[in-house]
Amino acid sequence: MSPPTLVYDDDCGVCSHAARFVDRRAAIDIVGFSELTDALRARLPPDYEDCAHFVTDETTYSCGAAMERAYERTGLLPSQFFPLFRRVPGYVPVREFVYRVVASNRPLISQLLP
């Protein structure tokens, strides 16, 4: 079983910051859009440049689900919390809404990052 891969927009400061955070804390391969192989690109949706993706041997998660799966591997929170979060009614739409808010405000958010 190969390690999962986080695919992200390496032209985006916020995205790169998040990818470095995950890379320092988890056994995950990190690949920017500019470094995609044909095999990895084939595992992504056609509109892959719209958000991040978390690719495992079994499946591909996109957008908020991708970042959730990546952060789950960091140990930031006990891993038991994430399956519980996913069962909370309304959690998934809120997760995706937050992802979209961050994605839509990347220039502003990048100014707030160290």
**pLDDT score for 16:** 94
Q: 98 pLDDT exceeds 80?
A: yes
pTM: 0.91
pLDDT at 3 > cutoff 80:
yes
Give per-residue pLDDT as tens, 69-97: 999 999 988 888 999 999 999 999 999 99
pLDDT, tens digit, 9 for 90 and up, residues 46-77: 999 999 999 999 999 999 999 999 999 999 88
Question: Residue type at 4?
Answer: P
Query: What does the block give as tokens for 3?
Result: 């390690």
